[in-house]
Amino acid sequence: MGFFKKMVQPIVNNAKGKAGERKVNSKLNPLIFDATYNKTINNLMLVDRYGNSHQIDHVEIRSNGIFCIETKNYAGIIYGDEEREKWVQVLGNLKHEHNNPIRQNKSHIRQLERVLGPSYKVNSLVVMVQNNADKIDVPYVVNLDDLKHYLAHYDDGTKYNRKEIDGIYETLKAAASRTVSSREHVKSIKENQKKIDKGICPRCNGKLVLRNGRNGEFYGCSNYPNCKFTVNK
């Protein structure tokens, strides 16, 4: 039974993830925003200079900013914050741990900013599809039902016109990798994890060295500052 669950669970998780992404995509429809001009890219795949692939759920480009959106379709009660390495999912008497999606989204934002250049700021946004973000005290982790309001009222002073929105969209579409399949992306993730387990930096193949930081011990690449890859202990 355990073996069967181990084989089936990734398929179930993938299906839930895709279902959540479809719900977020429907919310990003410009008709829902009262014809607000926007451009959306779903499942954007970027490959970095080390050959690693990065799959981004959604990029929303609007007059008030660029948003890198990570979708999570978790059931139950979710506990987490910006710094915690793992978020906790509570389902009845059961608890499950998941990687912190904020940290995951930071790596996606780095790739977007690498493509767009220093003139553009990319905002992080995590959407909880099952509307269970109430235990997560982070302003940019929102319920699906609040997505429209958050995007419509976000204001950091950014103002893009239609020409700029179109330019950002075309730049990202041009950078998108059409040679990496989802299967190859998953394979890349597994290979990177194997390198980390062996103490090898997955970006540049340097050595991972134990260091002390503001939030405790972590492993950083020996090729710092040329390579800034880190992983928690």
Q: What is the pLDDT of residues 109-164, one digit of tens each?
A: 999 999 999 999 999 999 999 999 999 999 999 999 999 999 999 999 999 999 99
* Model pLDDT, residue 33: 53
* Model pLDDT, residue 101: 95
Tell me, yes or no, if the pTM score tops 0.85.
no
DSSP character at residue 146: G
**Low pLDDT (below 50) residues in the chain:** 1, 3-13, 31
Tokens representing 166 are 């179109």
Residue 48, C-beta contacts closer than 8 angstroms, at least 6 positions apart: 54, 111, 114, 203
* Model pLDDT, residue 212: 84
* Model pLDDT, residue 183: 61
What b/e string do you get for 203-222 counting C-beta neighbours within 10 Å, with b at 16 or more? Answer: beebebeeeeeeeeebbbbe
CA 150 from centre of chain: 18
3-state SS, residue 38: strand
* Model pLDDT, residue 130: 95
* Model pLDDT, residue 217: 81
Residue 120, C-beta contacts closer than 8 angstroms, at least 6 positions apart: 66, 113, 168
Residue 166, C-beta contacts closer than 8 angstroms, at least 6 positions apart: 39
The C-alpha atoms of residue 18 and residue 4 are separated, in whole angstroms, by 22
* Model pLDDT, residue 6: 42
* Model pLDDT, residue 180: 57
Q: Which domains does the chain have, with CATH numbers?
A: 2-183 (3.40.1350), 199-232 (no CATH)
Instruction: Give the residue from 45, 38, 28 showing the smallest Cα distance to 174.
Output: 45
